Structures are given as structure tokens and as C-alpha cells.
Structure 1
Amino acid sequence: MEIAWSLVLFTALTGCGGWLFAGVAIDEFAKKTSKANFTAGIVALVLMIVGGVASVTHLAHPENMLAALNHPTSGIFIEAVLVGIASAFIIVYLVAYNRNETVRRVCAVAGAVVGVALSFMAGHSYLMDAVYTWNTMLLPLAYLGTAAASGLSAYALVAAIRHNETTPADLKIAFILLAVGGVAAALTSLLYLTGVMDAADLMLVAVGAVAVGGIVPLACGIAGLKAANSALVLSVVATACALIGAICLRCAMWMAYVPLENFFGIAL
């Protein structure tokens, strides 16, 4: 099946933004990379907006988007609402950043929860009985895992940039999160792709999703804990690879499209 690039970008970018803001929420309590949080919030908001715009292009015409939003039970409606809510919490967080710590923390946690939920629901929307290779909970879990790697890598990158004049120990939590994201991406991508990868043309994107998108960020996270002076380079590599892996996983989903009718030789 032809890859729907607008949806690939939508899910990859908003997932990255949601998990990037999750890094902000975690540090609101850890208080290790606080210098990065305002900047990270801005980046997360931009990712949400750009990702949302990308999704609109899939519907070709504005009237199609409005029609889709008239159905509250549809995946498009749920995703649009989650993008809007997450963006609203991020905006309030940024406004309250230097004004009210309680409001800031509440918005950070709430925005992170919604953003993480969005990364899962973006994959859950594809679950349907008519498509054999999509109808598995491993798919939204893979969306969640790859988004975790890209978002937490991006948070480590912002932290490395903003903390370039502070002690390397401040970045430890960011690289722990990065390593955890790498594990999540590698495992969830492998589990999903193992079940659907029965064609040679999926091998390249499978390697991209598992090795490039998961194992490389994991290695960068571990290396960052031991060589914090290389934090900026490691986080750049991790972010780039995690995003590539997230895109590869989503491309693999479209390439592995197998409608149930294929098993019966009839059109359902």
C-alpha cells in the first residue's frame, strides 16, 4: 500500500513532542535539567503544531477535515482533541513558567500524560478487523515506544544545549531517560515487526526501526552517562536516529498492509 506520508509525519512529530514534554514533566520534580524546560516546552509545542498541520494535509480539503471532526468516535477526532489539549497545557505551562510553580507542575504532568496518550492513540486508530497486519495491540505499543525514543532523545538534546556550561552530572537523568526510550523503541518495534515482516522489502525499514531507532539511542544514552562531555554530539545522533527509526516503523506499517480479504480471495 502507498505510504501516507502526511500521517507518518503527524504521528512521528506529535509523538516526539508529547514525549519531549514528558521529559519536562519528569524534571519538574527531579530538578536536574531545569534550564532546559522552557526551551523544551517551546520545541514540544512547535512539534505538536507542525504535526497537526501535517495531518490536515492528508484530508486534502478543509471541508473533509471538518467533516471528520463531526464524528466524536473517530480516530481523527480523538487525535485532534488530544493534540489540542496537549498544546493548551504546554501553552499554560510556558505562561506560568516564572509565575506559579504549582500551576507549572500541574500543567507539565497533565500535558505529558495527554502527549504520551496521543502517541499511543495515534497507532491505536489503525486497529481494524479488515487489515490483518494492523489489527494488533503491538502496533500502538510500537508507536508509543518509538515516540518515547525520539521525544526523550530530543529532551536530552535540549538539555545538552542549555546545560553546556554546567556540571556533566546535571545531564545524567536526561541520558537515563534517553536509554530507557531506546530500549522501548527497540523492543516494541521488534515485537510488532516480527509478526508482520514476511517480505524482503520490509527488511531495510525493520533494521531502521529496531537498530537505528532503538539500539543507537540506547547506546548513546549509556555513553552519555560515562562521557557527559560528549553529551551534545551523542544527543544529536540519538535524536536523528530515533526520528529515523520512528519514521521507518510507520513506513513499515503501511508497507506491510495486508487486508483480510487476501486470505479469502474475495472483496469484503
Structure 2
Amino acid sequence: MAIQWSLVLFTVLTGAGGWMLACVAIDEFAGKTRTVNKLAVVVAAVVACLGGVASVTHLSHPEHIMGALSHPTSGIFTEAALTGLMAVCAVVYFVLLVRGASAGARKVFAVFGAVFGVLLSFMAGESYMMSSQLAWNTPLLPLGYAGTAMPLGVALYLALAARDERADTSLYAKLLLVGGALAAVTAAAYGAASGAGADQALLLWGLAVVVGGVAPAALGAAAIKKPEQAFAVACAAAVCALVGATAYRCVMWLASVVVNNFFGML
């Protein structure tokens, strides 16, 4: 089964945008890096929208996208709805920031945007769960989608926050450490359950676990110890997390080939 790069990009980018919005929402309550939230919410929205555009290119006839959205129970409809709701919340939150609206109003839309974004990072993987694909039919798959998206979104937010020398980035360095650990655990669990440790998927599985999880966690620990280097560390973590998140989504397609070939030999 060929890797569907449009879908890989969609889930990586929307997942990153969703977790960036989660960091924005966290800071609405923590108030440590609030000066960066205006830029962060714009970057998160742009990244998520680019992911949405990538998903449309997966259709052989992109002009038929409205037909694909006419089935409310489909995975495509759920993903599109969550992407749209996340984008709307991001736009409203940005307007509230610019207009100096009350903290309560900002928090409401920041939280809703975060919920929709994080949920999308999970549902983008859940839509692939089907009994006809044994390597996909496990809740570990969407957990890995959400888990590998977290360090990428957090690293991008941390990189933006670290540009302000006055900002306290310690909380987001810790979140990067946690996110990297979750990415490593969820990617490892899915790989073990799906058979990714066999044949052609092994290398990518290793990239997802080590580069996409262990490396960001280690870089998060480094940012905690040396906050003055947080920007460089966050940029490095974002690159590692991007490689790992992409590799994880490729593992899904290649693991399916391994399992299907095994049953085809029986």
C-alpha cells in the first residue's frame, strides 16, 4: 500500500496547529508568555489551514470535496468540521486579543480552540480504524497520532515564546519533555501492536520513537536546565518532532503491507 502523502501532511500539520492552540490556552491561565499568543495563534491557524489544503489534494477531483462532506458520519466530515471549528476559534481569539477583550472571553475561545485541535489530532487517526485493515484496527493508532503531534506543537510554541527574553518558558520546556515522552511511548506501543517492527516499517518506526519522541524529550530537559538556549533547543526539537510525526504516519501504511502480506501467504 502506497504512502498517502497528502494525508500524512494533513494529520501532521493540523495536529501541530491543534497542540499549539493548546499551549495558547494553557498560557491564558498561566500567564507566563502571553505576549507571544497573538503570533502563536496566527501561526497555529496557518499551519492547520495548510494541513487542510493538503488533505483536499488527496482527492482525485478536489472540486468534489463538498460531496465528500455530505456524509456527517464519515471520518472526512469529522476531520473537516474539527478543522473548521478550530480555525474559527483561533480567528475569534485573535480578534479578542487585538481588541483587548476581557480575559474571560479570551479563555473561552482559547479553550474551545485547544479542545477542537487536540481532539482533531486524535480523530485524524481514529478515522483509519477499520476491521478490514488489521494493522490499523487498534486504539493505539490514534493515540500515537495525538502523541506524536504534541511535541511538534509544543516545540513550535516554545520557539516563538523563547524569542521574547522576558518570557518564562519553563512551563513549555516541561511540556516538551512530557510530550516527547508520550510520543515515544505511544509510537512504540502502536509499532509493537501493528507489526511495524518487521520488514520495511522497522526503520521508520525507530525514527518515530527515537527522533520523534526520545529526542524532543531530551531537548525539553535541556531547555529546562538552560532556559537561555530555549530558542535553539525548541527549533531542534521541532525538526525532530516533525521527522518523527511524519515517520509515524508512514509506519501505518507500511505496517499494513507487512500484515496483509503475512495473511496472504496463509
TM-score scaled by structure 2?
0.95
State the Cα deviation string for residues 157-215 of structure 1 (Å, max 9, x = none): 11112x2x326xx1101101111110110000000011222423212111110000001
Corresponding position of 1:256:
255
Corresponding position of 1:179:
177
Corresponding position of 2:137:
135
SS of aligned partner of 1:180? helix
1:150 and 2:152 are equivalent in the alignment: yes
| Percentage of matched positions with identical amino acids | 49
Alpha-carbon distance, 1:265 to partner = 6.8
Q: Mark the CA change 1:67 to 1:265 in structure 2 (over 3 Å): closer, same or farther.
A: farther
1:1-268 matched pairs, under 5 angstroms: 1-97=1-97, 98-161=100-163, 163=164, 165-166=165-166, 170-195=168-193, 196-258=195-257, 263=263
Cα-Cα RMSD = 1.6
Equivalent AA in structure 2 for residue 106 of structure 1: V
Q: Which runs of 5+ in 2 are unaligned?
A: none
Equivalent AA in structure 2 for residue 38 of structure 1: K
Q: Conserved in 2, the CA contact under 8 Å of 1:130 and 1:260?
A: no
Equivalent AA in structure 1 for residue 49 of structure 2: I
Alpha-carbon distance, 1:261 to partner = 9.1
Q: Distance in 2 between matches of 1:71 and 1:32?
A: 42
Q: Conserved in 1, the CA contact under 8 Å of 2:197 and 2:205?
A: no
Q: Conserved in 2, the CA contact under 8 Å of 1:130 and 1:261?
A: no
Q: Which runs of 5+ in 1 are unaligned?
A: none
TM-score scaled by structure 1?
0.94
Q: Distance in 1 between matches of 2:176 and 2:261?
A: 41
Alpha-carbon distance, 1:62 to partner = 2.9
Which is worse superposed, 96-105 or 122-131?
A: 96-105
SS of aligned partner of 1:129? coil
Q: Distance in 2 between matches of 1:257 and 1:203?
A: 13
